[in-house]
Structure 1
Amino acid sequence: MPGPMSEPTTAPFAAPVTAPAATPDDRVLAVRSLRKEFPVTSGLLRRTRGSLRAVDDVSFDLGRGETLALVGESGSGKTTLGRAVVRAIDPSSGEILLRTDDGDVDLARMRGRALRERRRDFHMIFQDPYSSLDPRMTVLGAVREPLVQNRVGAPDERRDRVVDVLERVGLSARHLHRYPHAFSGGQRQRIGIARSLVCDPRFVVADEAVSALDVSVQAQILNLLKDLQGDLGLSYLFIAHDLAVVQFLAHRVAVMYAGRIVELADTDALFGRPAHPYTEALLSAMPVPEPRQSRERIVLSGEPANAAALPSGCVFHPRCRYAVPDCAVQVPELRVLASGHAVACHRADELALQGTGAV
């Protein structure tokens, strides 16, 4: 039985990329007022006592060839949002507008056959490269499965398509008949990426796609994702905790807290000068690459907001060191500042917050 095969030589990070926000002409996806609520039940009869708002009135655009990163603490709603966008779970309300050759279609309203026919246009890369592959299926079977399920191509053409996409991700035809146990974690993630690309999707949701990998392997996968984006014009909705990875890969960043987007901006602008106190606290936790330098760490008080019982006003105000009495009363709207930031904070115009440039 062959053991796990070695990874290719580690490549260094390429230069970071920047891109403007999506315009109506070049956008691939438009999410409008998306909500996802889960019922809260109790008692022997499991009566509904309330609801948990995992995603609360979220709107954003994703441009062609763009990477939009979603960041935030665990429980902020990032993964739920990603799964709702690809209809792995049904949204409670809102629109998920996919740009097609025939105009926009609302994925949120689709059911049954209509939704199945659209699934070839979007795919997901999962966090765990070990559990996301069926150990009983060969590489050929795993990567070919989306083609079969979506009825793409003739049966005799599918193998050629699988070989082509495997070569794009750094594997080859000699891997077709091997099982997942014969591969390392990085190679399994390459198989997962190949599976997500085999139907030539319009956009891909990557949910913590590199967090389970060694640092050296992360660099390879991130460079692979960038190369594929350049070659194929892919759009990524990239969900991550690691802000260094986000800074390297993303064109724009959306910061989520308690199911809401509290800040949305170009990557360089957001990391250089954040506009929301929550973003400032997240950035303060980033390691400084110079061993003799340090950054002031902002430790937030209290616990993250309970999505089943959100505080009044700004959901972040109980933990915010800049909060004023109005923050506990009025809900801040997501508005665009003169700097181009979209931010939901009453005091964003007057605060001078520290980004990653201050050490």
Structure 2
Amino acid sequence: MRKSSLRRTPRRTGAALAAVTALALAATACSGTTKDDVDNESAANAPGGKADPDTALKKDLTVGFLPKQVNNPYFTTADKGGEKALRELGSRFKEVGPSSGTDTSGQVSYVNTLTQQQVDAMAVSAQDPGALCTALKQAMSNDIKVVTYDSDTRPECRNAFVSQASSEDLGRTQVRLLAEQIGYRGEIAILSAAQTATNQNAWIGFMKDELKDPKYQDVELVKVAYGDDDAQKSFQQTQGLLQEHPKLKGIISPTTVGIKAAAQYLSGSKYRGRVRLTGLGTPNDMRKYVKNGTVEAFELWDPAKLGELAARTAVALVSGQITGKKGETFTAGPMGEYTIGSGGVISLGRPTVFDAKNIDRFTF
């Protein structure tokens, strides 16, 4: 992990920051889910004046990336996209984060660390929708811009959220993919990540809503299991689902760690080809399982592009091109122009479906 050399004038006293840090570490997790239609008035808590889309982008900035879990292949790819963009923009990249995919308190301490180091902005994938709020608000009060990516916090605790795609699109399309594969009939289960993960819960909410459509009247969701984005636990949860529900026809795993672990289990079992699996995965992880018939089709966005957009959004915020309010537009370099939607949400775009016909065209 590369460390940046910072030469900036301190913006607060050590005693004051220590007191706030202690308060943030004492904060407890809160329940809640962020969806795409968050009301704008509760969203862009953007200090400062009016956005100027024509102002020049600042250089020599430091942007800290805080993923849910370092050394997770998905976040490694996403954060490398952010690092590449920052290098092109003449600024510095810094990554910190917990090694566990469920370490919410660890994320709080890393937010406080980045605040103490006086970074210009931070991009955070939140483990929990509320647990980071106190720490993130303190960062914002110290003129640090906060972007969430992949998984959101509460809207008032950041300036903007860079979403992989519409939560509704992601939730509904995963159900549609699986339903087509099982002939719209049979028991299905969901293998999620952490029970508090904002993005997972938003997608699962739309999955359940999609299943209310009469065309799914013969499809029954029997269980939502949680693998905590841990490969071994996800593998075991897959095994447990099949033991508990011997008539299971399909599994949706909206997490790259979970779908890979589930595919690994199914591939070496009597269930290969009998129990369908779809969800969100990377082509590199899933290629062999598509080719050996374990998985027919799955979907994802390009995580490198997600990280890149998070970085470019952070720099645009620091530069004053945007403040995070609905309707503001900015140009994200070669990615093109983006418009901020309700709740300060910036959507990367529609997910891509991968199958045997196209998977070899992708290398992430």
Which protein is richer in helix relative to its size?
2
TM-score (normalised: structure 2):
0.32
